[in-house]
């Protein structure tokens, strides 16, 4: 294995807010397959996986700068309530999917008024230090097609129609 060769790594992960509750896990399902170094993962996880061998398990702490970035208060915005006409039981804390400039993104409802709604467009994990339990189950050289597409194919990877 040469260090410059692009690799597809298959791995299980569990992510927690540092010292807090589990946010998400691949355990109980199929592991995820990802082309490393292609911006498919937050930088801290990409770098950790690049340094791991098959069968290795590791817990890494990832600061916001290597994770989902810092919170940006300018991303808390006030929008007309009519945009949410189709959402039943609109309430603070609710997370909705919206189509943003860079594809689907999570929008968190902060406050619901009579005619306006305050929403937070920051990633829900922005500004948080995260703990990832990582276990690498497979690692292989990426195919030319995967490198061209910028993502992994096959089980756990990107499925094309
Ligand atoms: Zn593809």
The pLDDT tens digits of the residues spanning 80-91 come to 999 999 999 999
How far, in Å, is the centroid of ligand 1 from the Cα of 112? 41
Q: Which domain holds residue 95?
A: 73-120
In a shared domain, residues 83 and 45: no
- Which position has the token pair 């400039």? 101
How far, in Å, is the centroid of ligand 1 from the Cα of 63? 30
Among the listed residues 132, 134, 131, 130, the one whose alpha carbon sits nearest the alpha carbon of residue 9 = 134
Q: How many CB atoms lie within 10 A of CB 159?
A: 8
How far, in Å, is the centroid of ligand 1 from the Cα of 137? 21
Task: Examine residue 132 and state whether it is found in any structural domain, yes or no.
Answer: yes
In a shared domain, residues 12 and 47: yes
pLDDT score of 139: 97
How far, in Å, is the centroid of ligand 1 from the Cα of 11? 19
Task: Examine residue 157 and state whether it is found in any structural domain, yes or no.
Answer: no
Q: How far apart are CA 161 and CA 143, in angstroms?
A: 19
Q: How far apart are CA 27 and CA 137, in angstroms?
A: 12
How far, in Å, is the centroid of ligand 1 from the Cα of 150? 7
Task: Examine residue 1 and state whether it is found in any structural domain, yes or no.
Answer: no
First to last CA, the chain: 32
pLDDT score of 44: 97
**Rounded average pLDDT per 10-residue block, the chain, 161 residues:** 75 94 94 96 97 97 96 95 92 89 86 96 93 97 96 92 71
pLDDT score of 4: 59
Residues with CB under 5 A from ligand 1 (ion): 149, 158
How far, in Å, is the centroid of ligand 1 from the Cα of 153? 6
- What domain count does the chain have? 2
75 alpha carbon, distance to own chain's centre: 18
The CATH number of whichever domain residue 64 belongs to comes to 3.10.50.40
Q: How far apart are CA 65 and CA 82, in angstroms?
A: 35
How far, in Å, is the centroid of ligand 1 from the Cα of 160? 6
How far, in Å, is the centroid of ligand 1 from the Cα of 64? 29
């Amino acid at each position: 294995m040469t260090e410059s060769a692009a690799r597809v790594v298959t791995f299980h992960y569990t992510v927690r807010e540092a010292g807090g509750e589990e946010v998400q896990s691949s355990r109980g399902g199929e592991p995820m397959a990802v082309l490393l170094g292609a911006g498919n993962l937050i930088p801290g996880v990409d770098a950790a996986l690049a340094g791991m061998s098959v069968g290795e398990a590791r817990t890494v702490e990832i600061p916001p700068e290597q994770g989902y970035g810092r919170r940006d208060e300018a991303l808390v915005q006030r929008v007309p309530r009519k945009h949410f006409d189709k959402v039943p039981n609109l309430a603070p804390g609710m997370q909705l999917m919206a189509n943003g400039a860079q594809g689907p993104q999570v929008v968190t409802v902060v406050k619901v008024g009579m005619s306006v709604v305050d929403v937070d467009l920051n990633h829900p994990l922005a500004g948080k230090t995260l703990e990832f339990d990582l276990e690498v189950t497979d690692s292989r050289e990426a195919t030319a097609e995967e490198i061209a597409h910028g993502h992994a194919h096959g089980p756990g990877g990107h499925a094309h129609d």
